[in-house]
C-alpha cells in the first residue's frame, strides 16, 4: 500500500476559533492508482492533499507514505520525503520566473543533491518526454499556459516520484490544452505512476478510476469505475467552488 | 544543498534586479569606502608623526634653550642663570654615566660661501656624538671627530642639499668653504634624509639637509656670543633603552634646575612622549572618524535588510514552490542569507577599491599623507561580510519560517 491514512484530522487555530478542516479521514491508495478528490470549497480536499503531499503535518491520526510514518517526521525528513517520493503539479504552474525552463525542472534535483551535468541530462530527457525538448532555454513567460504546465509536469516527474499530486492542473487552461494535460497525466498513470487529482470539475474527475467525494472535512462517498462516468446527475447539487 | 548551488541561485536573483541590487550595494560601497579612507588618513597621520619623531630619536631627550621675554630675561639675570651652556652638557655627561651620548648643538647665524656662491644653509656647532645620537651619518668622507673638537679645528661636514647647491656634481671633500670670516675644510657630506613638513607635524623640524656641521668648540671660539659666551641652543641626550627616557629626563631636570638657579629658561622635550601624545590624539580622531564611517555602513546594512524583506515578500510564491519541491528550512535560509552576504561582500570589495582611490585622491588634492594598511582592508571586508550576516539573518529567517502552504497560496 502506497498511502495509508487512518482517522486523519487537521485543525487550525484562527484567533479564538478552531477550524476543523479535516475531521477524521481514512483512506488507502495503492500503487498505480488514478484517484480524484472532489468537493466544494472548504470541504477539506486541499488540506487532505497538503497532508498527503507531506507539506503539512496532521493534528491527529496516522499517515504512512510508502511505509514511512509521516506524522513523526521533522522538517528536514519531511522535506526529503517530499523531494524523493512526491511530485506536485499546481493550478498556477508555480514556475520560478527568473529561471529558464530547464533550470526550473532542475530545482528538485538540486535539493536532491544531484550533480549539475547529470541534472541537466535528466531534465532535458524529461522535457523531451513532455514535448518541450526544443525549448529548454526559454523563460516561462515566453511559453503558453499549456507549455508551462508541461514544464511543471516535467519538474514533478524528474525525481521519479512514487506519487503525483495535481491540484486543479487544468484550472488555468483552455479546454483543449486542459485535455492535453489530462492525457499526459493519464499516460503517466498507464506507465505506473500513482496520480492524485484534486479538482472540482466533473469532466476532469472522470479521467480517474476512483473518486473521493469530500464534504465538511470528511469523505462523503467513494465511487469506482463506471459509477464515476454516471456522475453528471449525481453532482448537480454540488456547488461549484 | 551545496554551497555552489546557493551561490548560483544568489547570483541569478541578484542579476534579475540589476538596478535594485546595485542601489542596495551602494550603501555598503560608500560605508566601506568611508571606513577605508578614514583609516588611511589616520594611519597616514600616525606614520608621519612616527617618522618625524623617529628623526628626533625615540631614545632621546632634547633640552632646548627657550627664547625669553623681557620679564623672564630679567629674572634670569637676577638669579644669575646664563641659559643652556656647553657646560650643562658636560655636567650631564659627568653626572649621568648611564646615558649613551650627550650632544650639544649650537646654531651660528652667518653666511656660507664658496667663491661667489652663497648658500642659505645653517651652521651647526656640535661634537662627534651627534651622528650617533641623531642617527644621521655621513655618506661621503667622515663626520667631526673627537680630535677635531678637542683642538677646535676648522673642518666642516655639509648636508646633501648644501653640497648640490655649492658643488653640484663635484666632489666637495677636501675643498674649502668660507663660513663667516673663517675658511673651513670640507671633510664629509651627510646622507640625504627625507624631512616631511606634513600637515600632521608634531614638532617643527628644520631641514637638516641644509646643515653645515662644525666642531662645537670652534663654533664657541670663533663665533662667540658676547652675552652668553658658552651658550648652546640644544642638548640632545641619548639613553640606552626607551624606558630610561623618563627617569633620565627627571634627573636632567633636577640637575639643570640647580645649575640654572631655578630659572626655567630651557625646555625638556621627550620625543617618545610626544609620540604617545600624538598617538592618543590620533586615536580619538580615529574613533570619531571610524564611528562616522561605521554609521554609514550601518545605514547601508539597514538598506540591505529593507530590500531583502521586500524581496522575501515578493518571492513568497517561489519560497512555497521550493519548499514543495523539497527545500528544507535551512535551504531557504541559506539561499537568502547567501544573497545578502553576496550583496554586501560585493559592495565591500567595490568599497575597498573606491576607498583606496579616495585615499589617493585625498593625498593628491589635500596633501595629507594616507596609508592603506592591510588591517583596514581586512577589517572592512570582514565588517561588510558581517553586515550581510547580521542584516540578512532576519529576512532569511522570515523566508525560512514561512508556512509552505500559505506561501503556495500567496498571490
Give dist(CA A102, CA A240) in Å, integer.
Answer: 36
Q: What pLDDT is attached to residue B373?
A: 86
Q: Would residue A134 count as lying in a domain? A: no
Q: What pLDDT is attached to residue A232?
A: 62
**Residue-wise pLDDT tens digits, A30-68:** 999 999 999 888 889 989 999 999 999 899 999 999 999
Judged against a pLDDT cut of 70, whether residue B198 lies above it is answered with: no
Report the residue of chain B nearest A165, measured CA to CA.
B324
Q: Enumerate residues 6+ apart whose C-beta is below 8 A from A117.
A: none
Give the residue numbers spanning the domain of A16. Answer: 3-94+162-234
Cross-chain residue pair A75–B328, CB shorter than 8 Å: yes
Partners of A112 in beta bridges: none
Q: Would residue A153 count as lying in a domain? A: no
Cross-chain residue pair A79–B326, CB shorter than 8 Å: yes
Q: What pLDDT is attached to residue A87?
A: 94
Mean of the per-residue pLDDT values of chain B: 86
**Residue-wise pLDDT tens digits, B325-358:** 999 999 999 999 999 999 999 999 999 999 999 9
Q: Would residue A133 count as lying in a domain? A: no
Q: Would residue A61 count as lying in a domain? A: yes
Interchain CB contact of B326 with A (< 8 Å): yes
Q: Would residue A50 count as lying in a domain? A: yes
**Residue-wise pLDDT tens digits, A102-125:** 999 999 999 999 998 999 999 999
Q: Which residues of B touch A55 (CB under 8 A)?
A: 323-324, 404-405, 408
Q: What pLDDT is attached to residue B401?
A: 93
Backbone angles phi, psi at B366, to 5 degrees: -100, -15
As for the ipTM of the complex, it is: 0.92
Angle of helix A116-129 versus helix A101-112 axis, rounded to 10: 130
Helix (H, G, I), strand (E, B) or coil at B115: coil
Judged against a pLDDT cut of 50, whether residue B67 lies above it is answered with: yes
Q: Would residue A181 count as lying in a domain? A: yes
**Most distant pair of Cα atoms in chain A: their distance:** 54
Interchain CB contact of B329 with A (< 8 Å): yes
Q: What percent of chain B has pLDDT over 70?
A: 97
Q: Which residues of B touch A53 (CB under 8 A)?
A: 324
Backbone angles phi, psi at A230, to 5 degrees: -90, 10
* CA–CA–CA angle B91, B93, B96 (5° rounding): 100
Q: Would residue A135 count as lying in a domain? A: no
Give dist(CA B356, CA B362) in Å, integer.
Answer: 10
- Domain extent listing, chain B: 3-53+283-409, 60-276
Region A6-21: what's the mean pLDDT? 90
Question: How many domains, in total, are found in chain A?
Answer: 1
Is residue B174 within 8 Å of B158, Cβ to Cβ?
no
CB atoms within 10 A of CB B295: 12
Give the CATH number for residue A75: 3.40.50.300
What are B112's three cell numbers?
Answer: 656660507
**Most trustworthy range by pLDDT among A162-171, B34-43, B91-100, B268-277:** A162-171
Cross-chain residue pair B326–A53, CB shorter than 8 Å: no
Region B211-237: what's the mean pLDDT? 86
Interchain CB contact of B191 with A (< 8 Å): no
Q: What pLDDT is attached to residue B203?
A: 57
Q: Would residue A111 count as lying in a domain? A: no
Given pLDDT bands bounded at 50, 70 and 90, which one contains residue B404?
Answer: very high
Give dist(CA B265, CA B38) in Å, integer.
Answer: 41
What are B196's three cell numbers?
Answer: 616631511
Cross-chain residue pair A88–B2, CB shorter than 8 Å: no
Cross-chain residue pair B325–A98, CB shorter than 8 Å: no
Judged against a pLDDT cut of 70, whether residue A136 lies above it is answered with: yes
Q: Which residues of A touch B18 (CB under 8 A)?
A: none
Judged against a pLDDT cut of 80, whether residue B368 lies above it is answered with: yes
Interchain CB contact of B20 with A (< 8 Å): no
Q: Which residues of A touch B327 (CB under 8 A)?
A: 79, 111
> Of A8, A6, A39, which Cα lies nearest the Cα of A22?
A8
Cross-chain residue pair A96–B408, CB shorter than 8 Å: no
B contact test, residue of A74, A75, A105, A111 with most B CBs within 10 A:
A111
Given pLDDT bands bounded at 50, 70 and 90, which one contains residue B200?
Answer: very low
Amino acid at each position: 500500500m502506497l498511502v495509508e491514512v487512518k482517522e486523519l484530522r487537521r485543525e487550525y487555530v484562527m484567533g479564538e476559533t478552531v477550524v476543523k478542516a479535516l475531521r477524521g479521514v481514512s483512506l488507502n491508495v495503492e500503487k498505480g492508482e488514478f484517484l480524484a478528490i472532489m468537493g466544494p470549497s472548504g470541504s477539506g480536499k486541499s488540506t487532505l492533499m497538503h497532508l498527503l503531499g507531506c507539506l503539512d503535518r496532521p493534528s491527529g491520526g496516522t499517515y504512512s507514505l510508502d511505509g514511512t510514518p509521516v506524522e513523526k517526521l521533522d522538517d528536514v525528513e519531511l522535506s526529503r520525503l517530499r523531494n524523493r517520493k512526491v511530485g506536485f503539479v499546481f493550478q498556477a504552474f508555480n514556475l520560478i520566473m527568473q529561471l529558464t525552463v530547464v533550470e526550473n525542472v532542475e530545482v528538485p534535483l538540486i535539493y536532491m543533491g544531484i550533480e549539475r551535468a547529470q541534472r541537466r541530462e535528466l531534465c532535458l530527457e524529461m522535457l523531451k518526454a513532455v514535448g518541450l525538448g526544443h525549448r529548454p532555454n526559454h523563460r516561462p513567460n515566453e511559453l503558453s499556459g499549456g507549455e508551462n504546465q508541461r514544464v511543471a509536469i516535467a519538474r514533478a516527474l524528474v525525481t521519479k516520484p512514487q506519487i503525483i499530486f495535481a491540484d486543479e492542473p487544468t484550472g488555468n487552461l483552455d479546454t483543449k490544452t486542459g485535455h492535453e494535460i489530462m492525457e499526459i497525466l493519464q499516460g503517466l498513470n498507464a506507465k505506473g505512476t500513482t496520480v492524485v487529482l484534486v479538482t472540482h470539475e466533473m469532466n476532469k474527475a472522470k479521467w480517474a478510476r476512483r473518486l473521493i467525494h469530500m464534504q465538511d472535512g470528511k469523505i462523503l462517498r467513494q465511487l469506482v469505475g463506471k459509477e464515476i462516468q454516471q456522475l453528471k446527475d449525481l453532482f448537480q447539487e454540488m456547488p461549484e467552488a | 544543498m551545496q554551497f555552489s548551488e546557493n551561490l548560483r541561485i544568489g547570483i541569478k536573483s541578484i542579476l534579475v534586479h540589476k538596478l535594485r541590487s546595485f542601489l542596495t550595494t551602494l550603501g555598503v560601497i560608500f560605508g566601506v569606502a568611508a571606513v577605508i579612507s578614514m583609516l588611511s588618513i589616520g594611519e597616514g597621520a600616525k606614520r608621519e608623526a612616527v617618522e618625524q619623531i623617529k628623526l628626533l630619536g625615540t631614545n632621546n631627550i632634547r633640552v632646548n634653550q627657550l627664547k625669553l621675554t623681557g620679564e623672564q630675561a630679567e629674572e634670569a639675570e637676577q638669579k644669575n642663570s646664563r641659559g643652556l651652556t656647553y657646560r650643562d652638557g658636560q655636567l650631564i655627561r659627568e653626572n649621568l654615566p648611564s646615558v649613551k651620548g650627550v650632544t650639544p648643538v649650537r646654531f651660528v647665524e652667518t653666511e656660507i660661501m664658496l667663491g661667489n656662491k652663497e648658500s642659505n644653509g645653517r651652521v651647526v656647532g656640535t661634537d662627534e656624538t651627534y651622528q650617533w645620537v641623531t642617527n644621521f651619518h655621513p655618506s661621503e668622507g667622515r663626520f667631526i671627530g673627537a680630535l677635531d673638537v678637542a683642538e677646535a679645528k676648522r673642518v666642516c661636514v655639509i648636508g646633501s642639499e648644501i653640497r648640490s647647491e655649492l658643488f653640484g656634481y663635484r666632489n666637495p671633500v677636501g675643498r674649502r668653504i668660507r663660513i663667516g670670516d673663517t675658511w673651513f675644510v670640507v671633510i664629509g657630506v651627510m646622507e640625504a634624509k627625507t624631512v616631511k613638513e606634513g600637515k600632521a607635524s608634531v614638532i617643527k623640524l628644520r631641514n637638516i639637509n641644509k646643515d653645515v656641521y662644525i666642531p662645537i668648540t670652534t663654533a664657541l671660539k670663533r663665533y662667540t656670543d658676547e652675552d652668553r659666551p658658552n651658550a648652546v641652543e640644544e642638548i640632545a641626550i641619548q639613553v640606552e633603552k626607551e624606558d630610561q627616557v623618563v627617569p633620565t629626563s627627571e634627573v636632567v631636570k633636577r640637575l639643570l634646575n640647580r645649575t640654572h638657579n631655578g630659572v626655567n629658561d630651557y625646555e625638556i622635550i621627550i620625543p617618545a612622549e610626544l609620540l604617545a601624545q600624538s598617538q592618543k590624539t590620533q586615536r580619538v580622531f580615529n574613533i570619531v572618524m571610524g564611528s562616522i564611517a561605521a554609521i554609514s555602513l550601518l545605514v547601508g546594512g539597514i538598506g540591505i535588510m529593507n530590500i531583502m524583506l521586500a524581496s522575501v515578500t515578493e518571492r513568497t510564491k517561489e519560497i512555497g514552490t521550493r519548499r514543495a519541491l523539497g527545500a528544507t528550512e535551512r535551504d531557504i535560509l541559506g539561499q537568502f542569507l547567501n544573497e545578502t552576504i553576496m550583496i554586501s561582500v560585493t559592495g565591500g570589495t567595490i568599497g575597498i577599491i573606491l576607498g583606496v582611490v579616495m585615499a589617493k585622491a585625498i593625498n593628491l588634492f589635500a596633501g595629507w599623507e594616507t596609508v592603506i594598511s592591510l588591517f583596514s582592508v581586512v577589517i572592512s571586508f570582514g565588517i561588510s561580510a558581517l553586515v550581510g550576516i547580521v542584516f540578512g539573518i532576519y529576512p532569511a529567517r522570515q523566508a525560512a519560517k514561512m508556512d509552505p502552504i500559505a506561501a503556495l497560496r500567496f498571490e
